[in-house]
Amino acid sequence: MSATAVCVEGLSHRYGDHQALSGFSLRVEAGRIFGLLGPNGGGKSTLFRILSTLLPVQSGRVEVLGFDVSRQPDAVRFGIGVTFQSPSLDGKLTVGENLLHQGHLYGLSGGGLKSRIGERLERLGLSDRTHDRVDSLSGGLKRRVEIAKGLLHDPAVLLLDEPSTGLDPGARHDLWRYLDQLRQQRGVTILVATHLMEEAEKCDVLTILDQGKAVAEGTPDELRSSIGGDCVTLRGENLETLETQISERFGLKSKRLGESIRVEREDGHELIRELVDAFPDEISSISLGKPTLEDVFIDRTGHQFWEETSA
Protein backbone atom coordinates (compact mmCIF):
# COMPACT_ATOMS: atom_id res chain seq x y z
CA MET A 1 0.00 0.00 0.00
CA SER A 2 1.40 3.39 -1.02
CA ALA A 3 2.29 5.95 1.64
CA THR A 4 0.17 9.07 1.91
CA ALA A 5 2.04 12.28 1.10
CA VAL A 6 -0.83 14.72 1.65
CA CYS A 7 -3.94 14.19 3.75
CA VAL A 8 -6.72 16.76 4.05
CA GLU A 9 -9.89 16.03 6.02
CA GLY A 10 -12.94 18.26 6.36
CA LEU A 11 -11.06 21.46 5.52
CA SER A 12 -13.07 24.68 5.49
CA HIS A 13 -11.83 28.24 5.08
CA ARG A 14 -13.58 31.58 4.89
CA TYR A 15 -12.54 35.07 3.83
CA GLY A 16 -15.16 37.17 5.59
CA ASP A 17 -18.46 36.20 3.99
CA HIS A 18 -16.83 34.19 1.20
CA GLN A 19 -16.55 30.42 1.71
CA ALA A 20 -13.36 29.47 -0.17
CA LEU A 21 -13.28 25.82 0.95
CA SER A 22 -16.16 23.82 2.41
CA GLY A 23 -15.59 20.43 4.04
CA PHE A 24 -12.88 19.62 1.50
CA SER A 25 -11.04 16.28 1.80
CA LEU A 26 -8.09 14.95 -0.18
CA ARG A 27 -5.63 12.06 0.01
CA VAL A 28 -2.58 12.03 -2.26
CA GLU A 29 -0.42 8.94 -2.54
CA ALA A 30 3.34 9.47 -2.55
CA GLY A 31 5.00 9.55 -5.95
CA ARG A 32 1.91 10.63 -7.90
CA ILE A 33 1.20 13.63 -10.07
CA PHE A 34 -2.09 14.81 -8.60
CA GLY A 35 -4.16 17.50 -10.30
CA LEU A 36 -6.58 20.00 -8.80
CA LEU A 37 -8.77 21.15 -11.68
CA GLY A 38 -11.20 24.01 -11.34
CA PRO A 39 -12.08 27.52 -12.50
CA ASN A 40 -10.60 30.61 -10.90
CA GLY A 41 -12.27 31.09 -7.53
CA GLY A 42 -12.79 27.36 -7.05
CA GLY A 43 -10.54 27.15 -3.99
CA LYS A 44 -7.30 25.80 -5.48
CA SER A 45 -5.01 28.66 -4.44
CA THR A 46 -6.50 28.79 -0.94
CA LEU A 47 -5.76 25.08 -0.51
CA PHE A 48 -2.17 25.60 -1.66
CA ARG A 49 -1.66 28.47 0.79
CA ILE A 50 -2.86 26.27 3.62
CA LEU A 51 -0.69 23.33 2.53
CA SER A 52 2.35 25.63 2.43
CA THR A 53 1.56 27.03 5.93
CA LEU A 54 0.81 30.56 4.66
CA LEU A 55 -2.79 30.41 5.88
CA PRO A 56 -4.02 28.91 9.16
CA VAL A 57 -6.25 25.86 9.29
CA GLN A 58 -9.59 27.30 10.38
CA SER A 59 -11.47 24.01 10.44
CA GLY A 60 -10.41 20.45 9.61
CA ARG A 61 -7.10 18.58 9.59
CA VAL A 62 -4.18 18.87 7.17
CA GLU A 63 -1.02 16.73 7.10
CA VAL A 64 1.90 16.87 4.67
CA LEU A 65 4.49 14.06 4.78
CA GLY A 66 2.99 12.98 8.10
CA PHE A 67 3.45 16.41 9.70
CA ASP A 68 0.51 18.41 10.99
CA VAL A 69 0.42 21.74 9.16
CA SER A 70 -0.85 23.59 12.24
CA ARG A 71 1.45 22.06 14.86
CA GLN A 72 4.59 21.29 12.80
CA PRO A 73 4.82 24.04 10.16
CA ASP A 74 8.65 24.12 10.05
CA ALA A 75 8.84 20.42 9.21
CA VAL A 76 6.26 20.91 6.47
CA ARG A 77 8.16 23.86 4.97
CA PHE A 78 11.38 21.89 4.66
CA GLY A 79 9.59 19.03 2.94
CA ILE A 80 7.80 21.02 0.26
CA GLY A 81 8.68 23.16 -2.73
CA VAL A 82 6.17 25.76 -3.90
CA THR A 83 5.59 27.76 -7.05
CA PHE A 84 2.69 30.16 -6.71
CA GLN A 85 0.95 32.17 -9.41
CA SER A 86 2.29 35.41 -7.92
CA PRO A 87 5.97 36.19 -8.70
CA SER A 88 8.47 35.67 -5.88
CA LEU A 89 11.71 36.57 -7.68
CA ASP A 90 13.88 39.63 -6.99
CA GLY A 91 14.04 41.38 -10.34
CA LYS A 92 17.21 43.32 -9.49
CA LEU A 93 19.20 40.13 -8.90
CA THR A 94 20.44 37.68 -11.50
CA VAL A 95 18.92 34.26 -11.98
CA GLY A 96 21.84 32.64 -10.19
CA GLU A 97 21.69 35.10 -7.29
CA ASN A 98 17.98 34.43 -6.76
CA LEU A 99 18.66 30.70 -6.46
CA LEU A 100 21.74 31.26 -4.31
CA HIS A 101 19.76 33.19 -1.70
CA GLN A 102 16.95 30.63 -1.86
CA GLY A 103 19.51 27.92 -1.07
CA HIS A 104 20.81 29.88 1.92
CA LEU A 105 17.28 29.93 3.37
CA TYR A 106 17.42 26.14 3.47
CA GLY A 107 20.91 25.96 4.96
CA LEU A 108 22.64 25.11 1.68
CA SER A 109 26.00 26.60 0.75
CA GLY A 110 29.33 26.10 -1.02
CA GLY A 111 29.99 23.75 -3.90
CA GLY A 112 26.95 21.61 -3.18
CA LEU A 113 24.63 24.56 -3.61
CA LYS A 114 26.34 25.73 -6.80
CA SER A 115 26.06 22.22 -8.21
CA ARG A 116 22.35 22.11 -7.44
CA ILE A 117 21.78 25.50 -9.03
CA GLY A 118 23.59 24.42 -12.17
CA GLU A 119 21.62 21.17 -12.43
CA ARG A 120 18.23 22.84 -11.93
CA LEU A 121 18.97 25.57 -14.45
CA GLU A 122 20.18 23.05 -17.01
CA ARG A 123 17.09 20.88 -16.57
CA LEU A 124 14.82 23.86 -17.16
CA GLY A 125 16.79 25.25 -20.10
CA LEU A 126 18.17 28.23 -18.21
CA SER A 127 21.92 27.58 -18.13
CA ASP A 128 22.64 30.48 -20.48
CA ARG A 129 20.59 32.83 -18.28
CA THR A 130 22.48 32.35 -15.00
CA HIS A 131 24.02 35.84 -15.05
CA ASP A 132 20.99 37.67 -16.53
CA ARG A 133 19.00 39.98 -14.30
CA VAL A 134 15.50 38.64 -13.73
CA ASP A 135 14.00 41.97 -14.85
CA SER A 136 15.38 41.31 -18.33
CA LEU A 137 13.63 37.95 -18.75
CA SER A 138 10.37 37.21 -20.50
CA GLY A 139 7.37 36.04 -18.49
CA GLY A 140 7.91 32.43 -19.55
CA LEU A 141 11.58 32.44 -18.52
CA LYS A 142 10.71 33.99 -15.17
CA ARG A 143 8.22 31.18 -14.65
CA ARG A 144 10.92 28.58 -15.24
CA VAL A 145 13.19 30.32 -12.71
CA GLU A 146 10.34 30.19 -10.18
CA ILE A 147 10.07 26.44 -10.69
CA ALA A 148 13.85 25.95 -10.40
CA LYS A 149 13.70 27.90 -7.15
CA GLY A 150 10.99 25.65 -5.75
CA LEU A 151 13.00 22.53 -6.61
CA LEU A 152 16.34 23.70 -5.29
CA HIS A 153 16.24 21.97 -1.88
CA ASP A 154 15.02 18.60 -3.24
CA PRO A 155 11.50 18.69 -1.78
CA ALA A 156 9.55 15.48 -1.35
CA VAL A 157 6.31 17.29 -2.27
CA LEU A 158 6.12 19.94 -4.98
CA LEU A 159 3.16 22.34 -5.13
CA LEU A 160 2.67 24.00 -8.51
CA ASP A 161 -0.05 26.63 -8.84
CA GLU A 162 -0.83 27.12 -12.54
CA PRO A 163 2.72 26.06 -13.57
CA SER A 164 2.24 26.66 -17.30
CA THR A 165 1.39 30.35 -16.91
CA GLY A 166 3.43 32.31 -19.46
CA LEU A 167 5.07 29.25 -21.03
CA ASP A 168 5.01 28.64 -24.76
CA PRO A 169 3.96 25.15 -25.98
CA GLY A 170 7.56 23.91 -26.26
CA ALA A 171 8.49 25.05 -22.75
CA ARG A 172 5.26 23.56 -21.42
CA HIS A 173 6.14 20.19 -22.96
CA ASP A 174 9.66 20.31 -21.50
CA LEU A 175 8.30 21.20 -18.07
CA TRP A 176 5.96 18.22 -17.99
CA ARG A 177 8.69 15.90 -19.18
CA TYR A 178 10.86 17.12 -16.29
CA LEU A 179 8.01 16.69 -13.79
CA ASP A 180 7.54 13.13 -14.95
CA GLN A 181 11.27 12.49 -14.45
CA LEU A 182 11.05 13.89 -10.91
CA ARG A 183 8.20 11.52 -10.17
CA GLN A 184 9.81 8.49 -11.81
CA GLN A 185 13.44 8.92 -10.74
CA ARG A 186 13.16 10.68 -7.37
CA GLY A 187 9.69 9.72 -6.19
CA VAL A 188 8.62 13.36 -5.82
CA THR A 189 4.90 13.86 -5.17
CA ILE A 190 3.57 16.67 -7.34
CA LEU A 191 0.35 18.61 -6.80
CA VAL A 192 -0.71 20.75 -9.74
CA ALA A 193 -3.48 23.36 -9.46
CA THR A 194 -4.73 24.25 -12.91
CA HIS A 195 -7.66 25.53 -14.95
CA LEU A 196 -6.20 24.06 -18.17
CA MET A 197 -7.82 20.85 -19.41
CA GLU A 198 -4.74 19.76 -21.36
CA GLU A 199 -2.62 20.14 -18.23
CA ALA A 200 -5.10 18.17 -16.14
CA GLU A 201 -4.97 15.34 -18.68
CA LYS A 202 -1.29 14.78 -17.83
CA CYS A 203 -1.99 14.05 -14.15
CA ASP A 204 -2.25 10.54 -12.71
CA VAL A 205 -5.29 11.44 -10.61
CA LEU A 206 -7.57 14.49 -10.51
CA THR A 207 -9.89 16.17 -8.08
CA ILE A 208 -12.30 18.61 -9.70
CA LEU A 209 -13.16 21.59 -7.50
CA ASP A 210 -16.05 24.00 -7.73
CA GLN A 211 -16.93 26.69 -5.21
CA GLY A 212 -14.68 25.18 -2.58
CA LYS A 213 -15.97 21.61 -2.85
CA ALA A 214 -14.66 18.46 -4.49
CA VAL A 215 -17.21 17.40 -7.10
CA ALA A 216 -15.35 14.48 -8.71
CA GLU A 217 -12.14 12.45 -8.35
CA GLY A 218 -10.41 9.80 -10.43
CA THR A 219 -8.01 9.30 -13.29
CA PRO A 220 -8.75 11.38 -16.40
CA ASP A 221 -10.00 8.23 -18.17
CA GLU A 222 -12.25 7.27 -15.25
CA LEU A 223 -13.75 10.74 -15.09
CA ARG A 224 -14.47 10.90 -18.82
CA SER A 225 -15.97 7.39 -18.74
CA SER A 226 -18.31 8.44 -15.94
CA ILE A 227 -20.31 10.54 -18.42
CA GLY A 228 -21.60 7.31 -19.93
CA GLY A 229 -22.17 8.46 -23.50
CA ASP A 230 -21.52 10.94 -26.26
CA CYS A 231 -22.26 14.64 -25.83
CA VAL A 232 -24.67 16.23 -28.30
CA THR A 233 -24.92 20.02 -28.29
CA LEU A 234 -27.85 21.84 -29.89
CA ARG A 235 -28.74 25.44 -30.62
CA GLY A 236 -32.10 26.84 -31.58
CA GLU A 237 -34.42 29.84 -31.34
CA ASN A 238 -36.55 28.54 -28.45
CA LEU A 239 -34.41 26.36 -26.20
CA GLU A 240 -37.05 25.95 -23.49
CA THR A 241 -39.51 24.46 -25.97
CA LEU A 242 -36.81 22.31 -27.52
CA GLU A 243 -35.84 20.91 -24.10
CA THR A 244 -39.47 19.97 -23.42
CA GLN A 245 -39.86 18.33 -26.82
CA ILE A 246 -36.68 16.28 -26.42
CA SER A 247 -37.83 15.09 -23.01
CA GLU A 248 -41.31 14.14 -24.22
CA ARG A 249 -40.23 12.52 -27.49
CA PHE A 250 -37.06 10.71 -26.40
CA GLY A 251 -37.23 10.60 -22.61
CA LEU A 252 -33.84 12.29 -22.40
CA LYS A 253 -32.70 14.78 -19.78
CA SER A 254 -30.87 17.81 -21.16
CA LYS A 255 -28.80 20.60 -19.63
CA ARG A 256 -29.08 24.27 -20.55
CA LEU A 257 -25.65 25.81 -21.10
CA GLY A 258 -25.93 29.48 -22.05
CA GLU A 259 -27.24 29.62 -25.61
CA SER A 260 -27.20 25.85 -26.14
CA ILE A 261 -28.56 22.53 -24.84
CA ARG A 262 -26.45 19.47 -24.08
CA VAL A 263 -27.72 15.89 -24.18
CA GLU A 264 -25.76 12.77 -23.24
CA ARG A 265 -26.42 9.39 -24.83
CA GLU A 266 -24.62 6.37 -26.22
CA ASP A 267 -24.39 6.33 -30.02
CA GLY A 268 -24.68 10.08 -30.23
CA HIS A 269 -24.39 10.02 -34.02
CA GLU A 270 -27.70 8.15 -34.21
CA LEU A 271 -29.32 10.61 -31.80
CA ILE A 272 -28.28 13.50 -34.05
CA ARG A 273 -30.13 11.95 -36.98
CA GLU A 274 -33.20 11.31 -34.82
CA LEU A 275 -33.24 14.83 -33.42
CA VAL A 276 -32.85 16.49 -36.83
CA ASP A 277 -35.64 14.29 -38.26
CA ALA A 278 -37.92 15.11 -35.31
CA PHE A 279 -37.25 18.85 -35.01
CA PRO A 280 -35.87 20.14 -38.32
CA ASP A 281 -37.22 23.66 -37.85
CA GLU A 282 -36.40 24.05 -34.15
CA ILE A 283 -32.69 23.14 -34.40
CA SER A 284 -30.35 25.73 -35.94
CA SER A 285 -27.12 23.79 -35.29
CA ILE A 286 -26.07 20.48 -33.75
CA SER A 287 -22.70 18.91 -32.96
CA LEU A 288 -21.28 15.70 -31.51
CA GLY A 289 -18.32 15.28 -29.20
CA LYS A 290 -16.72 12.63 -27.05
CA PRO A 291 -16.78 13.37 -23.30
CA THR A 292 -14.05 15.70 -22.05
CA LEU A 293 -13.02 16.79 -18.56
CA GLU A 294 -15.03 19.95 -19.10
CA ASP A 295 -18.07 17.77 -19.78
CA VAL A 296 -17.42 16.01 -16.46
CA PHE A 297 -17.36 19.41 -14.74
CA ILE A 298 -20.64 20.40 -16.37
CA ASP A 299 -22.21 17.06 -15.50
CA ARG A 300 -21.28 17.36 -11.81
CA THR A 301 -22.00 21.07 -11.33
CA GLY A 302 -24.73 21.92 -13.82
CA HIS A 303 -22.85 24.93 -15.18
CA GLN A 304 -20.01 25.68 -17.54
CA PHE A 305 -16.38 25.78 -16.43
CA TRP A 306 -15.98 29.55 -16.82
CA GLU A 307 -19.39 30.53 -15.52
CA GLU A 308 -18.25 31.19 -11.97
CA THR A 309 -16.43 34.50 -11.40
CA SER A 310 -16.13 34.68 -7.61
CA ALA A 311 -12.58 35.17 -6.27
Q: List, for residues 169-211, the tens digit of each pLDDT value.
A: 888 888 898 899 889 988 999 999 999 999 999 999 999 999 9
User: What CATH number should be reported for the domain holding residue 247?
Assistant: 3.30.70.260
Residue 298 belongs to a domain? no
User: What CATH number should be reported for the domain holding residue 163?
Assistant: 3.40.50.300
Based on the fold, state whether residues 210 and 277 are members of the same structural domain. no
Based on the fold, state whether residues 234 and 203 are members of the same structural domain. no
Based on the fold, state whether residues 233 and 195 are members of the same structural domain. no
| pLDDT over 50 at 141, yes or no | yes
Identify the residue with better confidence: 228 or 221. 221
Q: List, for residues 236-265, the tens digit of each pLDDT value.
A: 989 999 999 999 999 998 888 888 998 988
Q: List, for residues 61-90, the tens digit of each pLDDT value.
A: 999 999 999 999 999 999 999 998 888 999
Residue 123 belongs to a domain? yes
Final residue before a domain boundary, out of 199, 219, 239: 219
Based on the fold, state whether residues 94 and 235 are members of the same structural domain. no
As a whole number of angstroms, the distance between CA 172 and CA 17 comes to: 37
First CA to last CA distance, the chain: 38
Based on the fold, state whether residues 169 and 278 are members of the same structural domain. no
> What mean pLDDT comes out for the span 4-10?
97
Based on the fold, state whether residues 38 and 114 are members of the same structural domain. yes
> What mean pLDDT comes out for the span 136-158?
92
Residue 301 belongs to a domain? no
Based on the fold, state whether residues 29 and 170 are members of the same structural domain. yes
> What mean pLDDT comes out for the span 4-15?
97
Q: What pLDDT score does 311 carry?
A: 37
Based on the fold, state whether residues 161 and 278 are members of the same structural domain. no
Based on the fold, state whether residues 121 and 30 are members of the same structural domain. yes
Q: What pLDDT score does 2 carry?
A: 63
**Structural domain span for residue 156:** 4-219
Based on the fold, state whether residues 187 and 234 are members of the same structural domain. no
DSSP state of 2: P
Q: List, for residues 91-127, the tens digit of each pLDDT value.
A: 999 999 999 999 999 999 999 999 999 999 998 889 9
As for how many domains the chain has, the answer is 2
**Cβ contacts of 170 within 8 Å, gap of 6 or more:** none
> What mean pLDDT comes out for the span 122-143?
93
Q: What pLDDT score does 1 carry?
A: 45
Q: In the structure, what pLDDT confidence band is assigned to residue 290 with cuts at 50, 70 and 90?
A: confident
Q: In the structure, what pLDDT confidence band is assigned to residue 307 with cuts at 50, 70 and 90?
A: low
